[in-house]
Structure 1
Amino acid sequence: MNLTALDHTLIGFSAHPNDLDRKRIERSLKRRKRYRYVSPDVTVVTNGYRIESPCCSRNIDPDGGVIDVALLLHDSGQAIWQLFRKDHVKGTWELHSTYDGLLPVLDRLNADPERTFWQ
């Protein structure tokens, strides 16, 4: 049987998270514009990746503890990436934008001109 001919959703296959893309995200974050002096962590979550980092600005955590920066989720049904920002006051994730590929997500996250993610 040809595996590529199967509908992967029917057999429970999910392309994300995977270690290759996690490493791509880690490498990409080194090119970010903000808070380059901290080391963010990329952790796997169901269907994607969560980025967290020490809070060097002390805007969110006065003690400089680790805070959520972004959540990247892949919707395999629609073949899109969803980029979420953390509302630290409410403690909830909010959908920021959607993209057709991972690279545009990382470009947006790394530029962050409004300090939406790197607070």
Structure 2
Amino acid sequence: MNPRPRPPARQPQHAPHAVVAESELLRRRVLRALERRERYRYVRPEVQASDDGWVVTSPCCSRNVDPDGGVIDIALLQRSAGGWTLSRRDHASASWVRHSKGVRLDTLLDVLCEDPQRVFWP
């Protein structure tokens, strides 16, 4: 008598939810840090996951980049080997330019929020 074939093993159902929850926690962590920023405190930036990492966008209050005050890219945060990378947007060439690398995300968020040379918040 042949035993009944076993059904294929199921993948754990909690794995995708764990990834989504981790991503949402990271997004909220970045948003909380952005509340401490020095520039344009009266606008509400957004943080979106992308294929490259996390993109911070904000309305262009200075009108330097977008005369109509539209939403522009501010920064890109990426996980890298051994830490994080922070890039700024070069709006003239429509490309990301690496600005800083660090082991701790909080250190790079401080750089983004302080921005004394206005390289992130033009």
Shorter chain as denominator, the TM-score bin is 0.7 to 0.9
Q: Deviation of residue 104 (structure 1)?
A: 0.3
Check if 1:29 corresponds to 2:63: no
Ranges in structure 2 where 5+ consecutive residues have no aligned partner:
1-18
Distance in 2 of aligned mates of 1:114 and 1:71: 17
**Residue of structure 2 in register with 1:38 after alignment:** 43
CA RMSD of aligned residues (A): 1.6
- Report how many aligned residue pairs link the two structures: 103
**Residue of structure 1 in register with 2:121 after alignment:** 118
Matching of residues 72-111 of structure 1 within 5 Å: 72-75=77-80, 78-111=81-114
Ranges in structure 1 where 5+ consecutive residues have no aligned partner:
1-13
Check if 1:60 corresponds to 2:65: yes
Secondary structure in 2 matching 1:82: strand
- The percent of aligned pairs where both chains have the same amino acid is 49
Secondary structure in 2 matching 1:18: helix
Q: TM-score, normalised by structure 2?
A: 0.80
Q: TM-score, normalised by structure 1?
A: 0.82
Secondary structure in 1 matching 2:120: coil
Runs of 4 or more, structure 1, over 4 Å off, are none
